[in-house]
């Protein structure tokens, strides 16, 4: 098990493992029965971790085959390993993996090549250990006389010196492939996030400018001409279909005017809902944006809101304008325009990772984003942009985890939200 645990990662969940070295040493010291037991013990955990018994089946057969054949051909371990893997191990692995992995995951031929190189390399290491280390003496077993044939030693050394560069090349190329894939993913996500953030910031800027232009008209109307206010509100909503409701409060927080989108079925008007927004803008001239306003509609539904204090010529607050809106339709439009592939989604969260809106159909609003990274325990701040991988927790097989993994681009939109 330790040999399987201390592995060299190649790429996409494929590792170079050394567990069979121990199995071969046990077979040489104690026979096929103990070797078989060690092979089963070492590979059974993989069945539970990866969800299939592929390695358990093949490495158990390897222990039986090598254990029986090695008695007669004790000086030909490398040949026996080659015969087993080319004649039996690789065909069985192909049948098992063709039914375990989707065909578009990783070329199965690449996985089979890894198993072949791994097995012969481990056999070469085992032969050298048996040849040069007094294992039987250490284990207080009867000493078996080996003829240290120069040909056998040279063959093992040549195998290692040939396979070691192959192993290092596979590891190095595997890391290069992973880095290349990750670099492309990060570039694509970064490009996509720049477009999305620019669109959202541009939308925010146009909304704020429109509200600032709308405010003087409200002041000039002296709160009386509701018909004219309704016409202006209707025009404002036609320019921004994401607006759901426009509410005007006086300086005491009492309702003066309300206009809602005809298609809006949310009951947004509520003094308790308006009060925190109203109080927040009394001492500022800026338009404040609130990102997770909860509307109780049988179940809680999130909306966003702009709040803006309207001031008279003397600078005193004469009223507060509240605009409630949702971005889900806008996110879908932005997603359709800028998505590089069909596998991308856009999710808008607050600083705590609570979902405001998302193009993911399986993600409920006001739920916690399932791949949100907690920035409190890292050197990254919430306002930094960062790309990080997310792996499905329910999938245990490392290759399938890589296949079903995706990358998250965390990018702050702006710091005006509250």
Q: In whole angstroms, what is the distance from residue 40 CA to residue 281 CA?
A: 69
Whether the per-residue pLDDT at 3 is higher than 50: the answer is: no
Q: How confident is the model at residue 215 (pLDDT cuts 50, 70, 90)?
A: confident
Which one has a higher pLDDT value, 221 or 189? 189
Whether the per-residue pLDDT at 399 is higher than 60: the answer is: yes
Query: Residue 89 in contact with residue 119, Cβ under 8 Å?
Result: yes
Q: What is the per-residue burial (b if ≥16 Cβ within 10 Å, else e) of 24-33?
A: bbbbbbeebe
Q: How confident is the model at residue 408 (pLDDT cuts 50, 70, 90)?
A: confident
Q: Which two tokens stand for residue 359?
A: 């193009």
pLDDT tens profile 31-81: 888 989 988 888 887 777 667 788 889 899 998 998 888 777 766 777 888
| Mean pLDDT for the stretch of residues 216-236 | 71
The alpha-carbon radius of gyration of the chain (Å, integer) is 34
pLDDT of residue 232: 81
| Burial category of 21 from C-beta neighbours within 10 Å (exposed 0-12, middle 13-18, buried 19 and up) | middle
Whether the per-residue pLDDT at 396 is higher than 60: the answer is: no
The chain-wide mean pLDDT, for the chain, equals: 77
Q: How confident is the model at residue 416 (pLDDT cuts 50, 70, 90)?
A: low
Tokens 């925010």 -> residue: 204
Residue 109: how many CA atoms within 13 Å on its side-chain side?
0
Q: Please spell the DSSP secondary structure of 45-65, one letter per residue.
A: HHHHHHSS-HHHHHHHHHHHH
pLDDT of residue 5: 53
Whether the per-residue pLDDT at 205 is higher than 80: the answer is: yes
Beta bridge pairs of residue 289: 306, 417
Q: What is the per-residue burial (b if ≥16 Cβ within 10 Å, else e) of 220-232?
A: ebeeeeeeebeeb
Q: Where are the alpha helices (DSSP H) in 302-373?
A: 328-338
pTM score, whole prediction: 0.64
pLDDT of residue 222: 53
Most confident stretch, 4-18, 146-160, 210-224, 348-362:
348-362
Residues 6+ apart with CB under 8 A from 71: 32
Cβ atoms < 10 Å from Cβ of 300: 12
Orientation angle between helical segments 150-220 and 328-338, nearest 10 degrees: 130
Whether the per-residue pLDDT at 98 is higher than 50: the answer is: yes
pLDDT of residue 327: 84
| Burial category of 345 from C-beta neighbours within 10 Å (exposed 0-12, middle 13-18, buried 19 and up) | middle
Domains and CATH numbers, the chain: 2-184 (no CATH), 221-326 (3.30.450.20), 340-410 (no CATH)
pLDDT tens profile 288-344: 888 766 666 556 777 888 888 888 777 888 888 888 888 888 888 887 877 665 578
From the DSSP assignment, how many helices (H) and strands (E) are in the chain? Answer: 13, 11
Per residue, what are the HEC states of 156-178? Answer: HHHHHHHHHHHHHHHHHHHHHHH
């Amino acid at each position: 098990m330790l040999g399987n645990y201390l592995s060299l990662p190649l790429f996409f969940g494929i590792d170079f493992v050394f567990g069979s070295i121990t199995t071969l040493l046990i077979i040489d010291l104690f026979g096929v029965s103990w070797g078989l037991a060690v092979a089963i013990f070492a590979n059974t955990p993989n069945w539970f971790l990866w969800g299939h018994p592929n390695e358990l089946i093949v490495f158990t057969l390897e222990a039986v085959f090598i254990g029986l054949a090695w008695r007669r051909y004790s000086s030909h371990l490398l040949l026996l390993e080659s015969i087993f893997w080319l004649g039996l191990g690789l065909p069985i692995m192909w049948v098992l993996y063709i039914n375990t992995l989707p065909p578009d995951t990783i070329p199965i031929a690449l996985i089979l090549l890894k198993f072949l190189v791994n097995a012969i390399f481990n056999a070469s290491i085992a032969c050298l250990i048996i040849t040069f280390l007094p294992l039987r003496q250490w284990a207080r077993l009867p000493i078996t006389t080996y003829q240290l044939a120069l040909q056998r030693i040279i063959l093992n050394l040549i195998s290692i010196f040939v396979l070691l560069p192959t192993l290092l090349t596979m590891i190095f190329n595997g890391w290069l492939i992973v880095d290349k894939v990750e670099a492309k993913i990060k570039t694509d996500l970064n490009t996509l996030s720049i477009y999305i953030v620019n669109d959202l910031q541009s939308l925010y800027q146009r909304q704020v400018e429109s509200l600032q232009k709308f405010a003087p008209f409200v002041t000039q109307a002296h709160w009386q001409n509701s018909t004219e206010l309704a016409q202006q509100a209707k025009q404002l909503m036609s320019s921004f279909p994401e607006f759901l409701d426009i509410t005007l409060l006086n300086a005491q927080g009492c309702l003066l005017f309300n206009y809602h989108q005809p298609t809006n079925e949310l009951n947004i008007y509520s003094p308790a809902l308006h009060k925190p927004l109203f109080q927040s803008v009394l001492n500022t001239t800026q338009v404040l944006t609130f990102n997770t306003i909860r509307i109780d509609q049988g179940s809680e539904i999130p909306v966003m809101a702009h709040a803006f204090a309207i001031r008279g010529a003397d600078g005193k607050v004469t009223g507060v304008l509240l605009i409630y809106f949702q971005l889900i339709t806008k996110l879908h439009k932005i997603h359709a325009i800028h998505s590089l592939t069909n596998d991308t989604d856009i999710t808008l969260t607050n600083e705590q990772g609570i979902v405001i809106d998302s193009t993911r159909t399986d993600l409920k609003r006001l739920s916690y984003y399932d791949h949100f990274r907690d920035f409190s325990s890292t050197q990254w701040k919430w306002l930094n942009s960062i790309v990080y991988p997310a792996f499905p927790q329910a999938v245990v097989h490392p290759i399938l985890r890589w296949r079903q993994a995706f990358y998250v681009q965390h990018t702050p939109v702006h710091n005006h939200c509250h």
